[in-house]
A and B are shown apart, each in its own frame.
Chain A
Amino acid sequence: MTSTVTPPLGDTERKPGRTPAAAPGAATRRKRGDGRFVAVCLLPALALFALFMIWPTLSVFRMSLYSWSGFSAQERFVGLDNFAKLLDDQQFLRSFQNTVALLVIVTVVTMGLGLALAAVMTRQKLRGRNLYRFVLYIPNVLSVVVIAAIFSAVYDQENGLINGTLRLLSLDGLQQVWLGDQSVVIYSVAFAMVWQALGYYMVIYMASMASVPEELYEASALDGAGAGRQFFTITLPLIWETLRTTLTFFILSAVNLSFVLVRAMTGGGPDGSSDVLLSYMYQQAYTNSSYGYGMAIGVVVFAFSFLVSLLVSRATRRPPLQY
């Protein structure tokens, strides 16, 4: 029981393994020349994969052990010094806090709301379901830069949608400097993240809920169970595996989304108060040219997100239900 990692969004049950029917006697039908065909088909992909993914990944770990200011050839091996320095770096700790806060807030809100909406849409057979689904999925096809630009416009201090509307309603007191106030900015980012991710997860949960047999609901309705009870005793247990997979996957992707969004929307500001781990890494690498230090942050983020995913996956494990 070493690894409980699940491939992103693959239905775990639908793994089409190598059953005899699926792989047409590949071993029995082996012919001369197979080797060359396999090599020609496989090598270009593997070469690119190794060059642009595996090698850079190893580089991240290697570089984290060096002190290196970029283009000059002076690499100095410093062992774990970069990691030791991290512990005293206030800005690193702040971006770590921000990352954790965003993970918790955004995960809870997105998952909770996504589940509730999916349940409502599938169970109540609302009119215009397709339209709602179409609209709620839109943010997921927009680029992060566009989302950042939209929210910069919405949050704009003077002429933004929110503050402009509040002024119109004579509610000037509620106006905020949404992206410029150190205590508000992280929630503004969190809202944009939920806005982006909600529809995607709702669509996944809807697909998963559609496969729950209708008889179960009919039977429990006869026993007098209400909609809320049905949700917790039927829907939730039966889509548990999907929920686990998406949760694991969401944590990994939220770490990255928070970075690209912060990079495009606030640049980590004001005064570093919305920095997240990866944006701080990027800043150290490029603006500060401390590549080794930046990569040490990268290693920490990687280990952190992997660990959290693993823990969540462990904590949510339930024996599979048969139905």
Chain B
Amino acid sequence: MTTIHKPGPRTVSTLLLTVIALLIVIPVGWVLVASLKTRSEFFGSPWTLPQGLHLQNYVDAFVTADMGRYFATSVLVTLLGLVLVLAVSVPAAYVVARYEFRGKGLVEMALLAGLFINVNYIVVPIFLMLVDWDRALIDLMPDGFFLDNPAMLALVYAATSIPFTIYLLSSYFRTIPGDFEEAALLDGASRFRIMTRVMVPMARPAVTTVILFNFLAYWNDFIIALTLLPGEGKTLQVGLLNLMTAQKAAADYGRLYAGMVIVIVPVLLVYALIQRRLIEGMAAGGVKG
């Protein structure tokens, strides 16, 4: 009997996973490296490293291509959207989880149905609605108010993520035992205080999850931003899309790659931070359990 060296199943799976991981890392890493190349270095082999750190690409992207301004718009819209969605969804989720009221079944059903409404379908009617509102106000504000307004974009983001946010928060509120509220009630706390001082702090994990998901959704969106901000003020994603179109005409790769890095880095940083917290949280839970 001869022994044949067959690769073990572990070797095969490690190999497979490594190949797939490389398929993800190489294109992303390639963009990071290429963003430092000079114009002439883009031609020829894609695997050559840049001679030096050609930071001019970043200056071009930030200043000439206005990515700096778009960055500020994106930060503003994302933060405002998060504040708005939390301000309206946290109280609503709490009430849905804890109170009985007339029409509750209907409200819950409507919100559940809302989970299946994708913004891609309704972005056209939303756009037309805002056009109508602007037209109605044309005497008061000839330049229009609702379109090309970052605050309005933030409001639309917040509104379209209400079903998901309430769904997640109210299922978490339901898992918190009622004893805490009863104790607070005996101490004479008002309904509002019970909600803000007792329940919301206890729901922190769910609130964090909601913030993370909505952050990614708002920061990464481009269909709504493209539609509702047709003018000069753009978000980062739409700005990047414009860079892509411009690059096709002018073959100016450096600026495009630098722009991509500007968009990718904040998201990767946030992701790396969450990931660590996630694993730490799981480990801590394991020790206690």
Contacts and interface: CB of A to CB of B under 8 A. Distances in A.
B178 A53 contact: no
Contacts of A270: none
Contacts of B34: 153
A146 B240 contact: yes
Contacts of A8: 115
A24 B181 contact: yes
B124 A285 contact: yes
Interface in A40-58: 40-42, 44-46, 48-49, 51-57
Given A38-B95, A71-B131, A302-B121, A161 B260 contact: no
B42 to A, nearest CB: 6
B21 A132 contact: yes
Interface in B235-271: 237-238, 240-241, 244, 253, 256-257, 260, 263-264, 267-268, 270-271
Contacts of A148: 244
A16 to B, nearest CB: 4
A321 interface: no
9 contacts: A44-B87, A44-B91, A49-B111, A56-B126, A138-B24, A145-B244, A148-B244, A159-B44, A298-B121
Contact of B222 (A55, A124, A143, A150): A143
A307 interface: no
Contacts of A236: none
A124 to B, nearest CB: 6
A131 B279 CA distance: 12
A18 B24 CA distance: 44
Interface residues of A, number: 99
A22 B192 contact: no
Contacts of B201: none
Contact of B95 (A42, A120, A256): A42
A141 B237 CA distance: 14
A25 interface: yes
A139 B96 contact: no
Most chain A CB atoms below 10 A, which of B21, B44, B111, B271: B21
B118 A252 contact: yes
B99 A26 contact: yes
Contacts of B267: 141-143
A142 B220 contact: yes
A124 B10 contact: yes
In terms of DSSP, what is the predominant structure of the interface of chain B?
helix
B222 A260 contact: yes
Given A16-B171, A42-B96, A138 B279 contact: no
Interface string A116-149: 0100110010110011101111110111111011
A152 interface: yes
Given A8-B115, A142-B264, A146-B264, A22 B216 contact: no
B46 A23 contact: no
Contacts of B219: 143
A247 interface: no
Given A24-B98, A153-B257, A161-B27, 12 more contacts: A23-B174, A24-B178, A49-B163, A56-B122, A56-B129, A117-B16, A138-B24, A145-B238, A152-B244, A153-B27, A198-B20, A295-B125
Interface residues of B, number: 97
A27 B100 contact: yes
B162 A168 contact: no
A142 B129 CA distance: 30
Contacts of A27: 100
A38 B34 CA distance: 55
Interface string B27-39: 1101100100000
B17 A143 contact: no
A291 B34 CA distance: 42
Nearest to B120: A256
Interface of B: 9-10, 13-14, 16-17, 20-21, 23-28, 30-31, 34, 42-47, 87-89, 91-92, 94-101, 107, 110-112, 114-118, 120-122, 124-126, 128-129, 131, 155-156, 158-160, 162-163, 166-167, 171, 174-175, 177-179, 181-182, 191-192, 195, 216, 219-223, 237-238, 240-241, 244, 253, 256-257, 260, 263-264, 267-268, 270-271, 275, 279
A41 B92 contact: yes
B22 to A, nearest CB: 9
B124 A291 contact: yes
Interface stretch (A29-37, A181-189, A217-225): A29-37
Nearest to A37: B191
Contacts of B220: 141-145
Interface string A152-164: 1110001111001
B178 A23 contact: yes
Contact of B10 (A41, A55, A126, A281): A126
A63 interface: yes
A316 interface: no
Contacts of A264: 222, 241, 244
A7 B10 contact: no
A240 interface: no
Contacts of A227: 9
Contacts of B271: 137-138, 141
B98 A52 contact: no
A188 B129 CA distance: 36
Contact of B99 (A10, A38, A263): A38
Most chain B CB atoms below 10 A, which of A49, A152, A160, A199: A49
